[in-house]
Amino acid sequence: MSNSPLVQATILSPNHSGRRNQKITKIAIHHAAGVINGRNLAGVFVPRARRASANYNLGSDGVIVLGVDESNRAWTTSSSWCDNRAVTIEVGNSTRGPQWLVSDYVLNRLIDLVTDICSRNGIYPCTYTGGKDGVLQKHEWYKSTNCPGPYLGNKFPYIASEVNKRLRGNKTVSKPKNGLYRVRKSWSDVKSQKGAFRNIENAKKCADRFGLKVFDANGKIVYPVGKTIDQLAREVIRGEWGNGEERKRRLTQAGYDYYAVQKRVNQLI
Ligand SMILES: [Zn+2]
């Protein structure tokens, strides 16, 4: 498990339960109920007496401060069930109540952060269902509170949609139309199906294992598309994908299997 590379400072809170006991599948977005910069916001959760914390503190100045390692369960949402599953984010407001506005700049930083959390934790799509079954979570569902406030609360569908646009920034992922990704030899060859998955990454793994393809609910092939492992390996050798961690990140974000490509590179050179 890792923390976001978007973090600009680390001001750890002692208020957490240690390692979370669930895989990260949710993101709880809170508002700070105050106009406060990132460092001061993180500082609020440093005293033990506060008995609260957040994984990330995004200040009204747009600065992102790590408060609790992502691998740990923060005390943010008044719910063990939610906080064990959710990466939690406190967001600084640009005005006080009753509107509790958040600036466009901070909202954009929030979308960057949520996109990064989804990307590193294999969450796709980022859903807002209006309920606990979705990815985005609201504090007010777990406790009598006005958090995340009327403004930020109304932005949840927009946040989910923007995050998904960014996650889809590559052509290998197509939007699921409330259906499953099916792993088959061809769309018409129903009998060749080895599995059907809600999560495209799981579908890709299955396809790789059996040498099959992934189709979306409309029968459109979504994986593998575009370049073959061999083509990619040759591009890597020509220096088109950078080196080391950068190469790994770019190939992975483009939807390719970094290890398969690297293996072919090693065979070729
Ligand atoms: Zn809250």
Residue of 240, 234, 242 lying closest to 264 (CA atoms): 234
* List of residues 6+ apart from 238 with CB closer than 8 A: none
**pLDDT exceeds 90 at position 228:** no
* Ligand 1 centroid – CA 120 distance (Å): 24
**pLDDT exceeds 50 at position 124:** yes
Q: How confident is the model at residue 172 (pLDDT cuts 50, 70, 90)?
A: very low
pLDDT of residue 175: 43
Task: Confirm whether pTM is higher than 0.85.
Answer: no
* Ligand 1 centroid – CA 141 distance (Å): 10
Where are the chain's structural domains?
A: 9-167, 181-223, 229-268
* Ligand 1 centroid – CA 101 distance (Å): 15
CA angle 1, 250, 3 (to 5 degrees): 20
**pLDDT exceeds 80 at position 224:** no
pLDDT of residue 215: 85
Taking only Cα atoms into account, the Rg of the chain, rounded to an integer number of angstroms, comes to: 21
* Ligand 1 centroid – CA 139 distance (Å): 5
CATH of domain 9-167: 3.40.80.10
Residue of 149, 151, 143 lying closest to 32 (CA atoms): 149
* Ligand 1 centroid – CA 132 distance (Å): 15
* Ligand 1 centroid – CA 105 distance (Å): 20
* List of residues 6+ apart from 22 with CB closer than 8 A: 84, 85
pLDDT of residue 143: 96
| Residue that wins the pLDDT comparison between 170 and 212 | 212
* Ligand 1 centroid – CA 31 distance (Å): 6
**pLDDT exceeds 80 at position 63:** yes
Task: Provide the token pair at 133.
Answer: 């079954």
Q: How confident is the model at residue 254 (pLDDT cuts 50, 70, 90)?
A: low
* Ligand 1 centroid – CA 59 distance (Å): 14
* Ligand 1 centroid – CA 209 distance (Å): 43
* Ligand 1 centroid – CA 50 distance (Å): 14
Residue of 226, 224, 239 lying closest to 269 (CA atoms): 239
